[in-house]
Amino acid sequence: MKTTDFSPYRRMMSDLAVPVLRRVLGSPRGVRGDGSVLVGASPALLLVADAPDQHAALSDGLRELVELDRTAKMSPDTAGVPVLHDPQGHAREFYFPLVLHLHLAAFSKLYETLSVHLWSTCEELMQQAAPRQIEAWASRPPPAIDTAFVLWQSLCLLDQADLAKRDADAELVDAVVHAIIEQPGPGGSLHPRDEGSAGESLDAWTYRELAGLHALTSLALSRRSAVWAERVRQITAYHLENTQPDNTTTEPWGIAGFLWSIHARSFGEQQLHDVQAGQGAMTPVTAMLLADAANALSIFESV
């Protein structure tokens, strides 16, 4: 299965991500308490750097996410979905599960080195942030516009299930992801264009495609699923052939999936080149995605 040494990519991603993440964490404004995606900076840094000074931030971040989730469930204006915003003022549905996933991935990587108190605190908080909403899609695929978001929720639930050894939740994720991959989009893409939004732009659809690919890549890796990995290959092949640079987001969503396959690797390399070219304007979200991708490739190499 393993045919490539990804260490040069991982090293490049880490070298790009670490200075941005450290700059965020060193900001006098701080990163907590205001619903900011920057709460993901600490766990992202822990995925790619030795930063014991950020261990305590795992429980702080999980506590904030749990509170945001609880508040969203009580608010009639949020449909029960917590949303984080980035420094540019964009509030995107993928940010909350991305940040939750980063916390869970960092905990999974480091839990043996954490203090007993910190370990138990994080474990207790993780149970309170389980995205149970995916149960609605165990036997039928979600609407096309929700596909990527449901994949992200599924990834977070699988992260928690793996840590807590909850086979029933892992089986629920299996059912949900299976229902999604059984309804591919045109040409092998992840999901169909949203038929209910006649005016949907290609850029918006592509953004969801790549964000969903990012989650599916980690799902396939976590479950060691050849079937899901094949869908990752098909999706990356579709975008290699059909997606133009001006239709893609500047954030490297899905980069690990593209780098997996030698046939689509040039797309991932282009994403990495674009980040390097715009390094001076690199956003914290980009740094988090690179850290997560570097961690995914590290796990891939160990399989």
Cβ atoms of 218 and 177 within 8 Å: the answer is: no
Count up the domains in the chain and report the number: 1
Q: Residue 43 domain-assigned?
A: yes
Do residues 265 and 18 lie in contact, with contact meaning Cβ atoms separated by under 8 Å?
A: no
Q: Which helix (H) or strand (E) holds 220?
A: helix 202-223
Tokens of 197: 């939004």
Structure tokens, 239: 């975008």
Q: Does residue 1 lie within any of the structural domains?
A: no
**What is the SS3 assignment for 90?**
coil
CB atoms within 10 A of CB 56: 15
Q: Are 44 and 291 in contact (CB under 8 A)?
A: yes
| Tens-digit pLDDT profile for residues 97-153 | 999 999 999 999 999 999 999 999 999 999 887 777 899 999 899 999 999 999 999
Structure tokens at 252: 């490297």
Its domain, for residue 44, covers 7-302
Whether 2 is in a domain gets the answer no
How far is the C-alpha of 38 from the C-alpha of 57, rounded, in Å?
12
Would 221 be classed as within a structural domain? yes
Query: Domain of 81: which CATH number?
Result: 1.50.10.10
User: How many contiguous H segments (helices) and E segments (strands) does the chain have?
Assistant: 12, 2
pLDDT score of 1: 42
Q: How many CB atoms lie within 10 A of CB 185?
A: 17
Residues in a beta bridge with 84: 92
Q: Binning pLDDT at 50, 70 and 90, where does residue 29 land? A: low
What's the DSSP call for residue 3? -
User: Which residues does residue 85 pair with via DSSP β-bridges, in sequence order?
Assistant: 36, 91
Long-range contacts of residues 134-143, Cβ cutoff 8 Å, at least 24 apart: 134/172, 134/173, 134/176, 135/172, 137/176, 137/179, 137/180, 138/172, 138/175, 138/176, 138/179, 139/175, 139/179, 140/179, 141/179, 141/180, 141/182, 141/183, 142/180, 143/194, 143/196
Res 88: pLDDT: 87
Has residue 136 been placed in a domain?
yes
Q: What is the mean pLDDT of residues 278-303?
A: 90
| pLDDT above 60 (res 30) | no
**How far is the C-alpha of 154 from the C-alpha of 173, rounded, in Å?**
6
Q: Is the pLDDT of residue 171 over 70?
A: yes
- Rounded Cα distance between 43 and 288, Å, is 9
Q: What is the pLDDT of residues 197-213, one digit of tens each?
A: 556 788 899 999 999 99
Asked if residue 274 belongs to a domain, the reply is yes
Q: To the nearest whole number, what is the mean pLDDT of the chain?
A: 90
Q: Is 160 in contact with 127 (CB distance < 8 Å)?
A: yes
What ranges make up the beta strands (E) of the chain?
Answer: 84-85, 91-92
SS3 content of the chain, % helix, strand, coil (to 5): 70, 0, 30
Q: Which of 24, 16, 25 is nearest to 48 (CA)?
A: 16
Residue 293 in any domain: the answer is: yes
pTM for the full model? Answer: 0.94
At 177, which amino acid appears? V
- Residue 83 structure tokens: 């949303």
